[in-house]
Every structure is written in C-alpha cells, then in structure tokens.
C-alpha cells in the first residue's frame, strides 16, 4: 500500500513538472576570484594581490514562465579566494601599524536566483540568453594559506595564529549578470556562457576587522566564471 502511494505521488510530481515546464540539470563553473578593497582613511595601503582559479558545482532547476523567460535557481558548492597585502603606517589618527599578506580560501553553499531571457531559436537548435539575478552565500569553511602572516594590533601573527581567527562573515550576497548560449541535444539541452558576480557585503568578520585601523576597510569578493551546464 505504501509503495503504491509513493508511486502515485511521484507520478503526480512528474506530471506537475512536465506541465509547468520545469527543467532539471547540473552546472559546473570554473571561476576567477578576486578582491575589491575600499579604504576610508589615509596613511594605509591595502592592495589586492591577484586572483585565484576556483569553481562552483551543483544541481539547477529552471522554471519556464513563458516561451522566452525562465526563473533559474539551484544549490551549489562554491569556492572563493581572498588575496591582499596591507601596509599601514601609524599616525596620530590611527596609532596602529599593521602589515602583512593575507591569502584565504573560502568555501560556501551558494543559493542562486535569477531570471533568464531567451531569444527565439537561431537555426533549429540554438538560443542566446541573458541572465540577471543574485547569489546568496553561506560559509561552510575557511583556511589561511601557510604563507599568510600579519603583524599589528595583537603583535606578530603567523599562519598558526591566524588559523584561530575568524576571517569572513557567515553570509555574503552578490548581484550577478550572465550571457550565454543554449543548444538542443535531442530532448535535452546544453548551455555555456560567462557570468560576472559582484559582492555586495563586506566579507571581513569582526574578529579580523580588528586588524584594520578603526574598522575602516571594506573588502568585497567578485567572481568571473565560465558556465557549463546540462539540462534534461
């Protein structure tokens, strides 16, 4: 009886998904992660120290609202990196000398939401799309690179000391835009494109903000990604 009921429920869900034009898939996105730093005081030098190759991967769900507009969401495992150098001289206004190199790897569970706007078919199997939306990040892990060092507020800190400090906040939010192309492959679809995600939240946790004079530094994390996905 229970098995019959379960089959009946699964059948209803499948029919609902088909009727609403719901597509399921999987997406992988190699990304380049880099930092954007804003300073609100004089006498300091906070410098982004390059970028790092990272990735995100996970299942996607796309709900077709019309023939050319769809709502897209999913759940991803995402990695990012923050790299920057700092050299702050002590002044009368900021009597704290801080210097060092910071290199942190971050891991998030990522919740994307977006609206995709598709063109009509180009040829018999291709469409171009533009996506506008947001990403919401929930931090699951962070790790300082072994070359990270810091000196200042609490004296000399090496890699082991920094590991005891919370670097990034638990939550991050981003606005995202994307451009790509989708191909029909039989009854399935494949797509590829470019995404740009701009961080909206200062990722520095209060623990690590103590290393910035008067908590006057804002650090945002941005991403450029090459999106590849398959829908069925």
42 within a domain of the structure (yes/no): yes
169 within a domain of the structure (yes/no): yes
Q: How far is residue 134 from each of residues 72, 83, 114, 131, 224, measured CA to CA in Å?
A: 10, 23, 6, 10, 14
Task: Answer for the pair 35, 84: CB distance below 8 angstroms, yes or no.
Answer: yes
Nearest 10 degrees: CA dihedral of 173, 179, 185, 187? Answer: 50
User: Which residues are bridge partners to 156 per DSSP?
Assistant: 151
Domain count along the chain: 1
3 within a domain of the structure (yes/no): no
pTM for this model (two decimals):
0.77
Backbone Cα Rg of the chain: 22
CA angle 118, 121, 122 (to 5 degrees): 115
What CATH number is attached to the domain comprising 52? 2.40.160.20
171 within a domain of the structure (yes/no): yes
14 within a domain of the structure (yes/no): no
Digit-by-digit pLDDT tens for the chain (232 residues) are 545 545 544 454 455 444 458 999 999 999 998 888 876 555 556 666 667 899 999 999 999 999 999 999 999 999 988 877 766 555 555 544 556 677 889 999 999 999 999 999 998 899 999 999 999 999 999 987 766 665 554 444 544 556 667 888 899 999 999 999 999 999 999 999 999 999 999 888 766 655 555 456 788 899 999 999 999 8
6 within a domain of the structure (yes/no): no
- Please count the other Cβ atoms lying within 10 Å of the Cβ belonging to residue 31: 23
203 within a domain of the structure (yes/no): yes
Structural domain for 157, as ranges: 23-231
Q: How far is residue 28 from each of residues 75, 192, 202, 219, 231, measured CA to CA in Å?
A: 11, 10, 26, 26, 12
The two tokens of residue 71 are 């709502």
Residue 155 has what pLDDT?
Answer: 46
- Distance CA(84)–CA(105), nearest Å, equals 12
5 within a domain of the structure (yes/no): no
């Amino acid at each position: 009886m229970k098995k019959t009921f379960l089959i009946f429920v699964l059948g209803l869900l499948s029919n609902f998904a088909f009727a609403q034009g719901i597509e399921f898939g999987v997406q992988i996105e190699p990304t380049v992660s880099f930092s954007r730093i804003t300073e609100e005081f004089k006498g300091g030098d906070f410098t982004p120290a390059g970028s790092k190759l990272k990735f995100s991967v996970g299942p996607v769900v796309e709900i077709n609202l019309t023939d050319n507009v769809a709502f897209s969401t999913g759940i991803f495992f995402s990695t990012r990196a923050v790299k920057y150098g700092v050299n702050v001289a002590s002044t009368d206004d900021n009597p704290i000398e801080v210097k060092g190199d910071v290199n942190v790897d971050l891991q998030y569970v990522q919740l994307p939401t977006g609206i995709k706007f598709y063109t009509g078919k180009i040829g018999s199997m291709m469409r171009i799309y533009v996506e506008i939306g947001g990403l919401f990040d929930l931090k699951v892990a962070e790790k300082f690179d072994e070359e990270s060092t810091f000196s200042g507020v609490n004296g000399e800190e090496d890699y082991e000391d920094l590991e005891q400090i919370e670097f990034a906040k638990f939550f991050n939010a981003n606005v995202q835009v994307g451009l790509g192309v989708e191909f029909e492959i039989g009854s399935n679809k494949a797509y590829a494109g470019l995404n740009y995600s701009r961080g909206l939240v200062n990722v520095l946790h209060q623990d690590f903000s103590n290393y910035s004079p008067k908590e006057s530094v804002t650090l945002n994390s941005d991403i450029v990604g090459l999106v590849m996905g398959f829908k069925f």
